[in-house]
Amino acid sequence: MSVPLAELTGDYVLDPTHTRIGFVARHAMVTKVRGAFHEFEGTAHLDGADPAGSTGQVVIKAESIDTGVEQRDQHLRTNDFLDAPNFPDITFRTTGVEQKSDTEYRVTGDLTIKDTTKPVAIDFEYTGNAVDPYGNLRVGLEGSVTVSRKEFGITWNAALEGGGVLVGDKIVLEFDVSAIKQG
């Protein structure tokens, strides 16, 4: 049974076993590589009556990047890309929430990758809520945002023989969130 939006007010934590934080990058200008981060934590305060009063933050472990190809993942962890040994965390902290419709929200915030912080706006769809078999109230959100990796100091690339580059600049960050109400 779904709970009315106003009754969702409270503090939440991301459920890492039912949340996916992923990405899509263009490769060799002809295909896409998809991947995900497997280690992260996040908290949020949702204000169902006044969504603008909602806040949240996510901390992602850069070393947990996974594209399904270990050699590529190892390269992505180096200074050419995420420099996970020196910058172990990728963070997002909200600066605002705007309700666009009954189910659509724009969440603005500061995204930090490799010690560079840029403002981003992530469009989320509220996918619903439910009480699970263990009595936990869960809310679901899906969203994405496209960022320029160069803006975060991630500039490594290789030229292709026929023109173009190996790795595209635009990266789509994807969020499929299941959050559990606390208390």
Tens of pLDDT along 141-182?
999 999 999 999 999 988 888 888 888 999 999 999 999 999
pLDDT in tens, 90-119: 999 999 999 999 899 999 999 999 999 999
Please give the Cα distance from 111 to 45 (Å, whole number): 18
**Token pair listed for 91:** 């963070």
Q: What average pLDDT does this structure show over 16-39? A: 94
Tell me, rounded to whole angstroms, the distance of Cα 58 from its chain centroid: 8
At residue 164, the pLDDT reads 84
pLDDT higher than threshold 60 for residue 3: yes
Q: What average pLDDT does this structure show over 110-139? A: 96
At residue 9, the pLDDT reads 94
Global pTM value: 0.93
